[in-house]
């Protein structure tokens, strides 16, 4: 008889001792054990991927999105059907109202249009290459959708592209528009183009180089600095496009910024149009980053279709769970908008694991990587409530009429089992302002009646600290037969097959999980990707500290595993146990105060954490369960880090990270990201609390804050960091190719002088085209040095060991620059 996955998990001849020996890690009680752990002090690389929001400001008659809607066959057909009486006039009226009522004149995720003749020769060659059906076959002709990128007006050919691709064209135009451009700048610019992805609805950028610990500030700070430099560059590229491609002159002002959730108006439009037309408007054409852009575009359309179907199928689960108890329901839209959510993914890698997996002669193989990686993920998931709202957030207001479980619970029916889902929904309703005549009530689904109830009884709905984690399928639940994290190679394929059969997922899609293993065979490095980050209020303090904490917890997980403290048996792979640990994660995102753990849970790690948690008591409502306060659970997680990871904290120099974490938990209103962002939004709105603001107005205010104040804050910090980086560059580099490149950019002008002259004009978006070119050139020179530093550090462990000595830190940085120049 064959073994199923749950049996096979424990049949592998793997043990902590065998894995330690394969990795060359000493026994736990011997010297060097902690130092040699994967992800410990000398064993870390990092990178991040940022999903950014874009918008075009301008009149309806000038901006691409409203124009393309008006000119579409969809709009024409609706008009004809309304005229003939086949369709209610309200369909057309609502769509016209959407186009007319944009008081901010802001059109999120709109494309831009400009004369094709404004592109220089090099930018035009880049465009022509990206329009190929297959970039590996240059004689294979153009994409079959090429016509949608061009139109003719008044005898002139125009180009229309999403802003995600505009970034690449802008950089190409800057490179190609300068005579005698030093090859150092040009070659770096070409490399950077590959990191400006035209992928999902929103633009995505990923690290220009592998990030290694900064000489003085650690890995988190280095990653935050690299992210800020990327943000600075994309801002300069958009500003350049606005001027050089005459977008401003033609009534279009493009902007790019951090924003975690789909725009309010885009959600409204989604409810007015078909799912097919939504995909036509907002699914990226995938011009850059893939050999076959049309195939990638079709994949993104598949994702949209699958997630839309998945949310509809969640309704039946809510009925089976007893949450929907009547036949009157408000069905979610057949077009799901969750792909328009934006977050940041932080990946960390272990050079030690990667070296062993790449050598071909090591006893540490992909089997070991999967076994230990899945177990580490299960351990790390217990700590995720420390991150949600604390380091990143997505504040959102829900009105009374939003509280239909079939809509507001999003993908949670696919992420929690029925027991935990019922517990969470009951506690969420209790937390929200939904009382009518002293009883908790949910809306009936009749808009007019729900509005009367809301107004008459002053029921205001709720405020959610991180709605993105509810509105997006962050972690799909395993099935009984196909665990996602049992340590067996190929387990995710079995799970995807099960989920596809249930109408939840598709085999072609990557499995959604909050902390994902990055396998060497697929990625070229071995590590993990944190996918639970929404919006950082500050790259400097929030992203940096979060990245360091992510690394610390991952190293602790490997310490637990390699010293034999926890194995897969201690954290079983049943859906119930998976749901049990994740309910605290989702509860923190919603802002409910408690979650429940069965008193006889077979998750021994959770049992240990509950023993350290204060205020736990047996539930009167749920016999056999213990009620746990999330905030006290966070303190227990903090205490676990202090006790079990004290050696790692000292080794990595993360004492300040732990103190900062404690402060965020103790004073969430002032110290957490959710608290700080919410207060900043309220300050701009002149209100005292989120519930005192109309839901739509609050959510629109958050978007204005992200687009305005927060974007400028990020710009100022990024500019200051870049200025400091340029000062180090100028003082550390001898007179050679770097200095020649600097002279090409600035002539005899001092770098600090140039940056001080342009700072305010850059932040206020009044910088000239020539100065924008100079700024981009400077950024590319800096990126060139960053890449050289990274390559030097990742060739072996010696640079890390050298870097760890405070005596040699300054000499090390200079030696890296010299190496870069020689290379």
Residues 6+ apart with CB under 8 A from 137: none
pLDDT (0 to 100) of residue 733: 59
pLDDT (0 to 100) of residue 13: 54
Residues 6+ apart with CB under 8 A from 767: 239, 758, 761, 775
pLDDT (0 to 100) of residue 795: 66
Residues 6+ apart with CB under 8 A from 269: 98, 278, 281
Residues 6+ apart with CB under 8 A from 538: 713, 717
Which CA distances in Å does 603 have to 11, 382, 567, 598?
A: 19, 11, 11, 10
pLDDT (0 to 100) of residue 4: 42
pLDDT (0 to 100) of residue 811: 36
User: Cα-Cα-Cα-Cα dihedral of 742, 748, 751, 754, to 10°?
Assistant: -120
**Residue among 438, 413, 410, 64 nearest 251 (CA):** 64
Q: Which two tokens mark 389?
A: 């709202």
Q: How far apart are CA 480 and CA 221, in angstroms?
A: 42
pLDDT digit string (tens) for 443-493?
877 777 788 888 888 899 999 999 999 999 999 999 999 999 999 999 999
Low-confidence ranges of the chain (pLDDT < 70): 1-13, 215, 328, 732-735, 795-823
- Number of neighbours of residue 85 by Cβ within 10 angstroms: 8
**What is the DSSP secondary-structure string of 611-641?**
HT-TT-EE-SSSTTEEEEEHHHHHHHHHHHH
**Residue among 464, 506, 326 nearest 406 (CA):** 326
Which CA distances in Å does 714 have to 104, 232, 477, 653, 717?
A: 22, 9, 36, 26, 5
Residue 114, Cβ density class (10 Å: 0-12 exposed, 13-18 middle, ≥19 buried): buried
Cα 805 to its chain centre, rounded Å, is 34
pLDDT (0 to 100) of residue 339: 92
Give ∠ CA 518-521-524 in degrees, rounded to 5. 70
Task: Check: CB of residue 434 under 8 Å from CB of residue 414.
Answer: no
pLDDT (0 to 100) of residue 732: 67
Q: Which two tokens mark 35?
A: 């130092």
Go through the domains of the chain in sequence order and give each one's CATH number.
5-51+341-399+461-693 (3.30.590), 53-177+192-303 (no CATH)
Task: Give the helix ranges, DSSP H, for 85-120.
Answer: 89-100
**Residue among 233, 239, 234, 237 nearest 253 (CA):** 239
CA atoms within 13 A on the CB side of 145: 17
pLDDT digit string (tens) for 255-303?
999 999 999 999 999 999 999 999 999 999 999 989 999 999 999 999 9
pLDDT (0 to 100) of residue 215: 64
Q: Which two tokens mark 678?
A: 């919410």
pLDDT (0 to 100) of residue 608: 97
Phi/psi at 480 (nearest 5 deg)? -60, -35
- The Cα diameter of the chain in Å comes to 84
Which long-range contacts (C-beta less than 8 Å, at least 24 apart) are formed by 132-139? 133/292, 133/294, 134/291, 134/292, 135/290, 135/291, 135/292, 136/291
Task: Check: CB of residue 200 under 8 Å from CB of residue 51.
Answer: yes
């Amino acid at each position: 008889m064959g073994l199923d996955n749950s049996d096979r998990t424990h049949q592998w001849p793997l043990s902590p001792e065998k894995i330690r020996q394969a990795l060359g890690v000493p026994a736990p009680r011997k010297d060097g054990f902690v130092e040699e752990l994967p992800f410990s002090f000398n064993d870390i690389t990092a990178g991040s991927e940022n999903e950014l929001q874009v918008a075009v400001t301008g009149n309806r008659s000038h901006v691409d999105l409203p124009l393309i809607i008006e000119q579409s066959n969809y709009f024409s057909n609706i008009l004809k059907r309304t005229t003939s009486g086949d369709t209610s006039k309200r369909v057309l009226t609502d769509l016209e109202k959407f186009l007319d009522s944009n008081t901010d004149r802001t059109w999120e995720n709109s494309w831009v249009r400009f004369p094709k003749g404004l592109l220089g020769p090099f930018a035009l060659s880049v465009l022509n290459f990206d329009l190929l059906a297959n970039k590996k076959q240059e004689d294979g002709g153009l994409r079959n959708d090429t016509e949608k990128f061009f139109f003719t007006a008044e005898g002139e050919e125009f180009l229309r592209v999403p802003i995600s691709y505009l970034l690449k064209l802008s950089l190409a135009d800057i490179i190609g528009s300068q005579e005698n451009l030093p090859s150092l700048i040009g070659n770096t610019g070409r490399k950077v183009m590959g990191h400006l992805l035209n992928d999902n609805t929103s633009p995505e950028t990923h690290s220009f180089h592998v990030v290694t610990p900064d000489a003085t500030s650690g890995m988190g700070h280095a990653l935050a600095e690299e992210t800020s430099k990327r943000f600075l560059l994309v801002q300069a590229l958009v500003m350049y496009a606005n001027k050089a491609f005459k977008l401003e002159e033609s009534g279009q002002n493009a902007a790019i910024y951090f924003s975690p959730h789909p725009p309010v108006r885009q959600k409204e439009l989604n409810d007015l149009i078909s799912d097919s037309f939504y995909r036509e408007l907002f699914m990226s054409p995938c011009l850059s980053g893939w050999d076959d852009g049309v195939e990638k575009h079709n994949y993104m359309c598949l994702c949209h279709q699958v997630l839309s179907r998945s949310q509809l199928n969640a309704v039946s689960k809510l009925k089976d769970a007893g949450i929907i108890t009547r036949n009157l329901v408000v069905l979610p839209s057949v077009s799901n908008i969750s792909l328009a959510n934006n977050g940041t993914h932080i990946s960390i890698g272990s050079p030690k694991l990667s070296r062993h997996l790449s050598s071909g002669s090591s006893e540490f193989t992909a089997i070991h990587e999967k076994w230990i990686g899945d177990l580490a993920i299960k351990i790390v998931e217990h700590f995720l409530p420390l991150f949600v709202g604390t380091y990143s957030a997505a504040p959102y207001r829900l009105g009374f009429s939003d509280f239909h479980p079939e809509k507001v619970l999003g993908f949670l029916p696919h992420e929690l089992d029925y027991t935990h889902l019922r517990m969470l929904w009951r506690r969420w309703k209790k937390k929200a302002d939904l009382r009518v005549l002293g009883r908790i009530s949910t809306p009936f689904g009749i808009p007019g009646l729900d509005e009367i109830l809301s107004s008459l009884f002053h029921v205001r709905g709720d405020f959610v600290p991180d709605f993105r984690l509810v509105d997006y399928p962050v972690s799909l639940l395993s099935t009984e037969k196909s665990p996602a994290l049992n340590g067996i190679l190929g387990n995710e394929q079995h799970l995807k097959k099960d989920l596809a059969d249930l109408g939840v997922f598709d085999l072609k899609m990557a499995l959604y999980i909050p902390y994902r293993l990055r396998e060497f065979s697929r990625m070229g490095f071995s590590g993990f990707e944190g996918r639970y980050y929404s919006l950082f209020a500050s790259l400097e303090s929030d992203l940096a500290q979060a990245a360091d904490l992510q690394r610390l917890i991952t190293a602790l997980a490997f310490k637990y595993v390699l010293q034999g403290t926890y194995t897969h048996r201690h954290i079983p792979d049943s859906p119930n146990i998976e749901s049990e640990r994740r309910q605290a994660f989702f509860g923190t995102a919603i802002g409910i105060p408690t979650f429940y753990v069965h008193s006889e849970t077979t998750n021994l790690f959770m049992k240990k954490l509950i023993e350290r948690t204060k205020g736990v008591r047996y539930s009167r409502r749920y016999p056999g369960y213990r009620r746990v306060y999330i905030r006290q659970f966070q303190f227990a997680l903090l205490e676990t880090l202090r006790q079990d990871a004290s050696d790692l904290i000292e080794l990595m120099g993360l004492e300040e990270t732990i103190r900062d974490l404690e402060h965020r938990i103790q004073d969430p209103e002032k110290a957490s990201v959710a608290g700080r962002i919410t207060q900043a939004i309220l300050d701009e709105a002149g209100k005292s609390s989120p519930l005192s603001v109309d839901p739509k107005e609050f959510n629109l205010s958050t978007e204005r804050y992200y687009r305005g104040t927060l974007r400028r804050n990020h710009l100022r910090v990024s500019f200051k960091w870049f200025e400091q980086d340029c000062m180090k560059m100028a003082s550390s580099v001898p007179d050679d190719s770097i200095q020649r490149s600097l002279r090409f950019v600035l002539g005899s002008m001092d770098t600090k002088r140039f940056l001080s002259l342009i700072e305010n004009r850059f932040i206020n978006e009044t910088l000239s085209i020539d100065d924008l070119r100079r700024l981009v050139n400077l950024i590319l020179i800096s990126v060139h040095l960053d890449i050289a530093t990274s390559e030097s550090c990742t060739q072996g462990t010696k640079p890390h060991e050298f870097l760890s000595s405070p005596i040699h830190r300054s000499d090390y940085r200079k030696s890296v620059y010299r190496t870069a120049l020689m290379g």
